[in-house]
């Protein structure tokens, strides 16, 4: 019998969104921004980005899919017997990943920091890779591993974008950069939705 249902996952995701909103609001308050999603998109567009950077419209679609898959995987793992090898470790790692997910908007958009964005992305990637390793090697659970597949695919793009963005732009929060001047052919000339 399943102890956790889809609506537990939906309630969890709503809680994560609430935490994200609170962290973003706190970061904006700290920097004195009023901010809106459109201003966030404009900030992203104004950055020097690599030619393979996705448009702003891709983010809510990709993260909607990634989040749905990860929540479904989390509910699946929660419903495994408590003594399942790796279950607790997987859930802890995914808990860390969700905290980092919730912190991203505030760290990047709220604080206007491409360095923070890169750091959170790399940490999130490490938590996701460790979760995937546990799912495959310790749990031997293809459903848990598959629940992270879209996130892993997205992170293969997000990490180089985030690292390039952190290196190529001034970071107002840390008052640093750009650290590297990219070749013009590597920089996306115009980014739209």
Report whether 75 contacts 5 (CB < 8 A). Answer: yes
Q: Provide the mean pLDDT of the chain.
A: 94
Q: How do the domains of the chain map onto residue ranges?
A: 43-186
- Residue 191, pLDDT > 70, answer no
CA distance 192 to 117: 20
Is the pLDDT score of 165 beyond 80? yes
Q: How confident is the model at residue 40 (pLDDT cuts 50, 70, 90)?
A: confident
Q: Is residue 35 scored above 80 in pLDDT?
A: no
DSSP structure string for 3-31: SS-HHHHHHHHHHHHHHHHHHHHHHHHHH
pLDDT at 192: 53
Compute, in degrees rounded to 10, the torsion defined by CA atoms 169, 172, 177, 178. Answer: 20
Q: With bands split at pLDDT 50, 70 and 90, how would you rate the model's confidence at 190?
A: low
Which tokens hold the place of 92?
């802890």
pLDDT of residue 193: 47
pLDDT, mean of residues 152-171: 98
Q: Which of 32-41, 45-54, 124-133 has the lowest mean pLDDT?
A: 32-41
What digits encode the pLDDT tens for the residues 81-116?
999 999 999 999 999 999 999 999 999 999 999 999
The answer to whether 136 touches 147, Cβ cutoff 8 Å, is no
User: Which string of DSSP letters, residue by residue, matches 90-118?
Assistant: HHHHHHHHHHHHHHHHIIIIITT-HHHHH
């Amino acid at each position: 019998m399943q102890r956790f249902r889809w609506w537990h996952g939906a309630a969890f995701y709503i809680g994560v969104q609430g935490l994200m909103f609170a962290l973003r609001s706190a970061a904006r308050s700290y920097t004195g921004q009023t901010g809106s999603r459109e201003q966030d998109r404009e900030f992203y567009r104004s950055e020097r980005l690599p030619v393979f950077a996705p448009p702003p419209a891709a983010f809510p679609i990709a993260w909607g899919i990634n989040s749905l898959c990860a929540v479904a995987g989390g509910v699946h793992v929660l419903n495994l017997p408590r003594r399942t090898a790796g279950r607790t470790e997987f859930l802890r790692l995914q808990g860390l990943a969700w905290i980092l997910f919730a912190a991203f908007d505030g760290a990047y958009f709220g604080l206007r920091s491409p360095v923070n964005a890169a750091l959170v992305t790399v940490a999130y990637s490490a938590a996701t890779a460790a979760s995937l390793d546990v799912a495959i090697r310790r749990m031997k659970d293809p459903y848990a591993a598959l629940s992270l597949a879209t996130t892993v695919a997205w992170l293969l793009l997000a990490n180089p974008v985030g690292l390039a963005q952190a290196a190529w732009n001034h970071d107002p929060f840390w008052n640093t950069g750009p650290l590297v001047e990219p070749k013009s052919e590597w920089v996306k000339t115009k980014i739209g939705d």
